[in-house]
Amino acid sequence: MTITMMIFAVVGGPVAMIFPTSYIPLANEGLTGAGLAYLGAIGVTIIYVLVFTKIAAKKFKNLEF
């Protein structure tokens, strides 16, 4: 996944916005762009965290320790 994230960060486009690293070019556009890049990367990361937490909760709900 890391190679894909690096390629999308360079190429860009709407599909690239699903990866947090793709907001780097936007951060270079000035203060407003940096703020939007920061919020975009945080938003995408939060979505990933919620999705993977939901998947992990389903997987480990029936696990005995």
What is the length of the chain? 65
Q: For the whole model, what pTM was predicted?
A: 0.63
Tokens 């690239």 -> residue: 16
The secondary structure of 46-63 as a DSSP string is HHHHHHHHHHHHHHHTT-
The helix or strand, by DSSP H or E, that contains position 25, with its residue range, turns out to be helix 24-27
Task: Enter the tokens of residue 57.
Answer: 């909760």
Helix, coil or strand: residue 64: coil
Residue 21 burial by CB count (10 A; 0-12/13-18/19+): exposed, middle or buried? middle
Q: Express each pLDDT in 13-63 by its tens digit.
A: 777 777 776 777 777 778 888 888 888 888 888 999 999 999 999 988 888
